[in-house]
Structure 1
């Protein structure tokens, strides 16, 4: 869940609500507090912005008083993650810190079943959770543990692969961009692999740095932009940067030249990562459109022009294709039905 600029699929919104719903919490006020229209949850194509999802995450944390948001078979009391980090901070290297964290969570009945295994060529962190019907908790734990490891050593650790012990979800095309590595579904365990030499890296953080990180955890670890190792993610970031300064996105040839590739090679490598240049351009425009509609008062016609649409009708058609609704209806719903905000 790279939440920094990318929008989040409604599948993740439904999944993060599941634990609270199971415990009888009324989630409609939480959605409203996060400024997410409850009606959006009925459309598989709907998406929300990173700030909306962050607010929902925090509302759920307050409502459940559970660091796992009610998604596990037993609650994790607030402060548990912080104590695990304190326990791991003074270890000799990253491998020892991860093993201490695994041991720490193993002390809690009903907690996630974490394991670190090492071979000559790969280190593997696996995660198993109970009652996690949408697999959201297990996926979040993989991301959080990976990014915590990055933070502890002050370097980005590229993942070799990520595997998930569940069938491919409807939004499976987003996983390689999300995890920055090849992914597979239907595996024996959920987890991720990395080169074993990273486990010998020394920890570089102190108590003050930990205190600062914990003030923003865990959502900061979920939203931190630690990936970007795939070509698709690098291209997407370049397109998003270009769109902030000009409505005209660079052509395939221009982008290929920027990455010192031929257009044919760029096209082929993106296809190998299960995407295309046009899909990446659409995704960048989609996310910018959703962010503009949910978070600002810019007239829809001006937003369409800023995103490179020569006509309002073309923007409306594209937005309906992306989200299943019109720009005006999306903005209206995001403003809790305040007609004064509708453009």
Structure 2
């Protein structure tokens, strides 16, 4: 078994997406169960879930609320609204016209999102003016920004690189997630909430037809919310190389080996990762962490075997590293928190230096 080390999602987003259902008095436990998410994880700030788990929760919320905004705005958005906006935009001559038609479409609905396309010289920006009044976590606001960016990229068949992403509120506890979400410099406490890009993209022709739109809508909106690695940053390239290596061997390549693969020196790779606010060790930990969470969520692999597949020679090493990554034990990530999967390792509480099968502390 070789679980793909896809990026996981912070529990902050799980809590945020549940707010609307909670306000409506809906029982959230069955909604979490629909996504195979153990409810106990919501109490741990460092907990994470897989994209598949989050998608399952999202779909369950959509069915329960019958609201495309999931109860996160004072006025619901009836199912089918987003689809009709997409069909309306599809007939435009270029991307700029499509964005303007889409923002005008949502402007027809009282209480709907206040969206705007701004042009300034060689730059353009898509902004969300004022958060919906019930979106205290800003989850809906950020979803609108992400969906519009990725929908625009889908319409023209090319990824639009963002130059910046600004938010008119203080940084949240999970602020380190945003650089990955937007793949551009991120600033909090700005005078606006929006994302900027080169204005030349507004003249790009739309390349999609209605049959392609139908397929995309069958997977929306989570298909558009999913974080995709385009290989446009050094961190994405390194992470991709590490994830590929983990699929075939428990041994992850060293910094020098990865640098050689990317045709740069180790010192250059280290500097470039530092400029992107990360490090080689952080990326190695993230790849192992996400593969571990995915394996635990699938629930078919004994924890001891999962630990060995990820490069740990002992259960205790894996438990220790997993607690460092997530703040809790691997068993808590089994649906229902099945203690049987914990084995005899004692949840990683043993003392002493723990090493993986290659002699590095804590699986490093």
Return the TM-score normalized by structure 2.
Answer: 0.89
Distance 2:77 2:39 in 1: 27
Please give the residue correspondences for 1:92-103 in structure 2 after superposition, counting only pairs within 5 Å.
92-103=93-104
Tell me if the contact between 1:289 and 1:307 (Cα under 8 Å) persists in the aligned partners. yes
Distance 2:256 2:33 in 1: 44
Cα shift at 1:87: 0.5
Distance 1:309 1:166 in 2: 41
2:323 is matched with 320
2:60 maps to 1:59: yes
Describe the SS at the equivalent of 2:155.
helix
Deviations 1:211-233 (A, max 9, x none): 11111111111126264422112
Cα shift at 1:32: 1.8
Cα shift at 1:322: 1.1
1:87 is matched with 88
Instruction: Evaluate the alpha carbon distance shift between residue 137 and residue 227 of structure 1 in structure 2; reply closer, same or farther with a 3 A threshold.
Output: farther
1:215 is matched with 218
1:240 is matched with 243
1:72 is matched with 73
Distance 1:4 1:327 in 2: 16
Describe the SS at the equivalent of 1:215.
helix
Describe the SS at the equivalent of 1:68.
coil
2:122 maps to 1:121: yes
Deviations 1:234-290 (A, max 9, x none): 211221111111111111111112222211111111111111110010000000001
Cα shift at 1:342: 6.3
Gaps of 5+ in 1: none
2:137 maps to 1:153: no
Match of 2:270 among 256, 267, 270: 267
1:135 is matched with 138
Match of 1:300 among 300, 303, 321: 303
2:2 maps to 1:8: no
Tell me if the contact between 2:126 and 2:195 (Cα under 8 Å) persists in the aligned partners. yes
RMSD value, Cα: 1.7
Deviations 1:292-311 (A, max 9, x none): 01113212111111111122
Describe the SS at the equivalent of 1:17.
helix
Out of 165-174 and 75-84, give the one that drifted further. Answer: 165-174
1:30 is matched with 31
Distance 1:4 1:26 in 2: 31
Instruction: Evaluate the alpha carbon distance shift between residue 15 and residue 230 of structure 1 in structure 2; reply closer, same or farther with a 3 A threshold.
Output: same
2:197 is matched with 194
Distance 1:190 1:95 in 2: 19
Distance 1:226 1:284 in 2: 13
Distance 1:207 1:233 in 2: 32
How many residues matched? 338
Tell me if the contact between 1:88 and 1:97 (Cα under 8 Å) persists in the aligned partners. yes
Distance 1:154 1:224 in 2: 17
Cα shift at 1:328: 2.6
Please give the residue correspondences for 1:33-48 in structure 2 after superposition, counting only pairs within 5 Å.
33-48=34-49
Tell me if the contact between 2:38 and 2:337 (Cα under 8 Å) persists in the aligned partners. no
Deviations 1:49-102 (A, max 9, x none): 111110000010011111011111211100000000010001000000000000
Describe the SS at the equivalent of 2:248.
coil
